[in-house]
Amino acid sequence: MAFSEFTSEISEIILSKKGYDIKVLDLRELTAIADYFVICSADSDIQVKSIADEVNDVLREKGIKCFHKEGYGALNWVLLDYFDVIVHVFKKEAREFYNLERLWSDAPFKIVEDEIKL
């Protein structure tokens, strides 16, 4: 199962802002919505915004523009759409409620962990 360099890059950006419980779902065989979902958790509104802003800013600096953004009003769940990859930044409670992993349980997935353990 091959996951893209782009999802790895997004995951590293998320880790740099202390996002956690990162899961990359491979949707290529299941839907035309996107090739991948990158899903992560955060503990507060501020952290949700910080992660989403950092992903958007770093990718924009590399010439990769976000097609669509949602969720900046409530900051419980921010969605960043990069066509082939959709990034979902959730507050922990919202992620448990919406449970995208269950909805897409047929998708192969990869769990991304921070290699630096304290």
What's residue 99's pLDDT? 93
| Best CATH choice for the domain 5-112 from the list 3.30.460.10, 3.30.365.10, 3.40.50.1820, 3.40.630.30 | 3.30.460.10
- What percent of the chain is predicted at pLDDT more than 70? 94
What sign does the CA torsion over 82, 71, 55, 11 have? negative
> From the CA atom positions of the chain, what is the Rg in Å?
13
Tokens 């992620």 map to which residue?
95
User: What's the mean per-residue pLDDT of the chain?
Assistant: 92
What's residue 116's pLDDT? 53
What's residue 4's pLDDT? 85
What's residue 118's pLDDT? 42
Interhelix angle for 5-16 vs 45-61, to 10°?
130
pLDDT over 80 (residue 62) = yes
Which helix (H) or strand (E) segment is 58 a member of? Answer: helix 45-61
Euclidean distance between CA atoms 71 and 20, whole angstroms: 19
What sign does the CA torsion over 3, 64, 52, 79 have? negative
Instruction: Decide: 108 and 47 in contact? Cβ < 8 Å.
Output: no
Q: What is the pLDDT of residues 78-117, one digit of tens each?
A: 999 999 999 999 999 999 999 998 989 888 889 998 765 4
pLDDT over 50 (residue 70) = yes
Q: What is the pLDDT of residues 20-42, one digit of tens each?
A: 999 999 999 999 999 999 999 99
